[in-house]
Amino acid sequence: MSAPGRRSSTFTRLLRHGFTDPSAAERLLDSVELMHVRDDPVLLEALGATADPDLALLGLVRLLEAQPGPTARHELLDTLIAAKPLRDRLLGVLGASAALGDHLHRHPRDWEALVTYEPRDLHPGVEEFERGLAGATDPVSLRVAYRRCLLSIAARDVCGTTDIAENAAELADLATATLRAALAIASAAAPEDAAMCRLAVVAMGKCGGHELNYVSDVDVIFVGEAVDSADEDKALRAATRLASHMMRICSETTVEGSIWPVDANLRPEGRNGPLVRTLSSHVAYYQRWAKTWEFQALLKARPVAGDIELGEEYVAALEPLVWKAAERENFVVDVQQMRRRVVENIPVAEVDRELKLGPGGLRDVEFAVQLLQLVHGRADAGLRSGTTLNALQALAAGGYVGRADAVQLDEAYRFLRSMEHRIQLYRLRRTHLVPEDEADQRRIGRSLGLRVDPVAELNREWRRHASVVRRLHEKLFYRPLLDAVAQLAPGEARLSAEAARERLVALGYADPAAALRHLEALASGVTRKAAIQRTLLPVLLGWFADSADPDAGLLNFRKVSDALGKTPWYLRLLRDEGAAAENLARVLSAGRLAPDLLMRAPEAVALLGDGGGDGGGLEPRGREQLEQEILAAVRRAQNAEQAVTAARGVRRRELFRTAASDIVGSYGTETQPAEADEGSLVDRVGGAISDLTAATLAGTLRAVVRESWGDTLPTRFAIIGMGRFGGHELGYGSDADVLFVHEPLEGVDERTAADAANKVVSEMRRLLQIPSADPPLLIDADLRPEGKSGPLVRTLKSYEAYYRRWSLVWESQALLRAEPVAGDEDLGRRFVELIDPLRYPAEGLGEDAVREIRRLKARMESERLPRGADPKLHSKLGPGGLSDVEWTVQLLQMQHGWAEPGLRTTRTREALAAACAAELISAEDAATLDEAWVLATRVRNAVMLVRGRAGDTFPSDVRELAAVGRYLGFADGHVGDMLDAYRRSTRRARTVVEELFYGA
């Protein structure tokens, strides 16, 4: 038993050397196996230098216990104490890998593989590994020999003898030797099959790229040919049996574990395709059917086993096709979509720990490097390396990537790969997740040389490097484009004009020459403005390229920058406020309406920032706020024209705010995902534009009255919103449907009052349509009694008399959406009291009235649809469109509104929800109608945002149609899916309309 003083001293020393459980360590040191060396400082120092001293000590004791006798045990200990190279390597492996510790326990003499330290052992190649595997004649002995070779690779890794690139290359060479050995075993088991065929094993992925992990699927493709005059079908079947047997040898798990899975799913047609094909069959597939990602995968193709000559023929035959992949129509879109799918498929709980596939992970670097290789490798053969770091170095040397950027990415990639290797080495399990356990993180951190506070340092370094990688889109794709148009120091490599043009074309820019001119105008020079632009543009170019029209985004940005270039806050806002730059990029590249509104007053850019600038950021403002601002501007104005100009200026700014909010909410940004509730988006847009229109009319009314009558108009005057205006459902391209009602003041004759009311209406319409930088507000009063032939303004009594004697059923239906929006509140309230019995008739509608409404609807469908329009894609009049849903809801309101208070609303969706709550319509049918109405409304808004003019059908222009798709949440290349989704939604809605409205 140890003395107390000695125990205390040992305990302290163990803590100082990094042991986390000194008590357990002390017991192990006191064991029989270590008794005569337990006080040797050399051993304790060596254990303390490992990634996990506790694990290393336990592994050492287990290894000593497993030795065949005392002599073997003393031999190991004496060699360990005397030979520093062995001590560092053996303890280093035991402290980093529990799995290799288990292997040494099962095969206790394998430690001798770490004794030899000849120069050739520093970087062994395939031949050396083949010699190490030469004695393996069956799957079990191959696994044992493989682990023995892996032991030496791991020893060089943890001791720092090899860096991560050399370590990964050694693992790939060992995999090559293993595939050859496994194929030899399979061939020996079936010599007739081997004699009948030529079989080439082509490595893909990390093995093909000489950058394999400790534990990874080894991706392969098999190519088979018949030998001499052998039957081709029989030869392919023989080759398939050999390939399958080889895969089983490597993949099957025994007490020795498995080597690694051999994955052949990168072959043509994936797992559904034949395992082995002839060379001609491979070529035919890639010429006709292959997708972009399959050519991307071929970048790393390398023959490794079997008939090497056949494998080289395979690579040579497909290489020309690989370097034409960037010319495919949807090349960049395909690559980007594949990357997005990878990220989307990561479980939410694992995204933040995903070292490989997550944002800022290894795959980001690999995808970007491969994309650049495919774009520029067509003309520059020096870029055609299958190894990521070599390719990155070549891209930097050729000026395709900035040198400083390449250095940062190289460092980040090496660190992340090193983390990945040390995570996998511990249990020899295939994983890319950073462990959550602090002890695991401590071991990983110490293995990477982080010793002061391993866990904190590891997480800090990991996040720092991931942050660098997250900027790779900017770093690798866009900054060199600026270098191509900027003045660089002598000797600095940069993209040629042709290379820059090719990159812009690959990224979706239709006019690369114009894009380069814009970049030159924005970023050239030595001014502070140009310097800030050079910082901003790489990011903005990426966001523009992510839109349906990158060229428009860049052109619009140049226009805004030219207009605001001398404004001190503009570039500072974009540089310093995280949301502003991305919001601006999305808005400028989403269509014509929002950029057009912005160009009329570029200072509205301030709305896009985090702080909101002019009044609350992108959140639409309420009716009360808007009216207060407009009325204040009216009071300050010298005359009515100036007042309405100010009101229209507020309207233009707020239309931009609403459009920008809608675009950001629909498209989403890196920091703000697209809104899932499309109904809320529609309600917000409709409510915001309706409130803005009402406030504009209120201000215009005040200005006109003040100009001619001071503060006292000789008649009370109210404006009643109708249609979508009254329903709070206005779109960007909607007119303001209204009725005008007045009532003479006491003592004023009706003629004088009528003249004043008509003058107010005439002047309001004139002032709101005067040509100016602000969009006009068109007032439509065609829903008034007698339509266009009737008087523009009527008294309340006149309305009462008309509705009592002449009102038709369609006029009662139109009044369902009547709501006072401006003017005399009491008069507006009394107008509503007047029309309520008409729109919600007691006991509902009679059969004749229902038939009349149905007849009018059918007539509208047949007569008002534009000639040549596809009815199924007409958002207003087509089957299941706005008209179908609205007329169905309005029929329910007129039939049941007298008994169901919830139906007495001007808003379509509210009325539909109330009908469902009253069980007048099933929840399923209500949801179907609501979905179709929301979708049709969004289509109309999208068309206006994209084209800058109103429309009820999908655009025919390809880019405009794609932009509408992006607004509706469909990625590039999925326009067909969008149209199918629209037809499907409206088809279901039409079925409900046929039943509820037409009674079918």
pLDDT in tens, 967-997: 998 877 788 999 999 999 999 999 999 999 9
Write the secondary structure of 850-879 as one string of H (helix), E (strand) and C (coil). HHHHHHHHHHHHHHCCCCCCCHHHECCCCC
pLDDT at 485: 62
How do residues 12-30 score in pLDDT, each as one tens digit? 888 888 899 988 888 888 8
CA distance 57 to 94: 8
Statement: residue 392 has pLDDT above 90: yes
| Residues 335 and 367: beta-carbon distance below 8 Å | yes
Q: Which two tokens stand for residue 502?
A: 């090719």
Single-letter code of the amino acid located at 629 = E
Q: What is the mean pLDDT of residues 484-502?
A: 67
Structure tokens given for 665: 């909410």
Query: Is the sign of the CA dihedral 937, 942, 948, 949 positive or negative?
Result: negative
What pLDDT digit, counting tens, does each position of 247-304 carry?
999 988 777 778 999 999 999 999 999 999 999 999 999 999 999 889 999 999 999 9
Distance, CA of 261 to chain centre: 31
Cα–Cα distance for residue pair 87/42, rounded to 1 Å: 9
Enclosing H/E stretch for 723: helix 723-726
Torsions phi, psi of 829, nearest 5?
-65, -40
> Can you tell me the distance from the alpha carbon of 742 to that of 756, in angstroms, rounded to the nearest whole number?
10
Kindly give the pairing relationship between strand 276-277 and strand 793-795. Answer: unpaired
Range of 376-380, 511-515, 696-700 with top mean pLDDT: 696-700
Phi, psi values for residue 875, rounded to 5°:
-70, -25
Q: Summarize pLDDT for 795-820 with one digit per residue, the tens.
A: 999 999 999 998 889 999 999 999 99
Q: Which of 656, 655, 566, 563 is nearest to 608 (CA)?
A: 656
Q: Which residue has the higher pLDDT, 194 or 534?
A: 194
Dihedral angle sign, alpha carbons of residues 909, 910, 916, 920? negative
For residue 306, give the DSSP letter.
E
Question: 901 burial class (0-12, 13-18, 19+ CB within 10 angstroms)?
Answer: exposed
Model pLDDT, residue 506: 78
Q: List pLDDT tens digits, range 87-120.
A: 999 999 999 999 999 999 999 999 998 986 544 4
Q: What's the token pair of residue 350?
A: 């694992």
Nearest to 759 by CA among 721, 814, 717: 717
| pLDDT-based confidence at residue 613 (cuts at 50, 70, 90) | very low
* Averaged confidence pLDDT in the chain: 89
307, 198 in Cβ contact below 8 A? yes
Query: Per-residue b/e over 847-873, b at no fewer than 16 CB within 10 Å?
Result: eebbebbeeebeeebeeebeeeeeeeb
| Residue 883 token pair | 């008209």
CA 694 – CA 689 distance, rounded (Å): 9
**What do you get for the CA distance between the two ends of the chain, in Å?**
97
- Between 616 and 529, the more confident residue is 529
- Give the pLDDT score at 119: 44
Residue type, 295: F
Residue for token pair 């990477």: 448
Q: Which of 187-191, 351-355, 734-738, 880-884 has the lowest mean pLDDT?
A: 351-355
pLDDT band at 483 (very low <50, low <70, confident <90, very high): low
pLDDT for residue 347: 83
The pLDDT score that the predictor gives to residue 357 is 85
Q: Read off the pTM.
A: 0.70
Alpha carbon distance 816, 826 (integer Å)? 19
Instruction: Provide, rounded to the nearest whole percent, the portion of the chain with pLDDT above 90.
Output: 64
pLDDT, position 983: 95
Separation in Å, CA 493 to CA 394, 478, 489, 496? 12, 15, 9, 9
Mean pLDDT of 855-881: 88
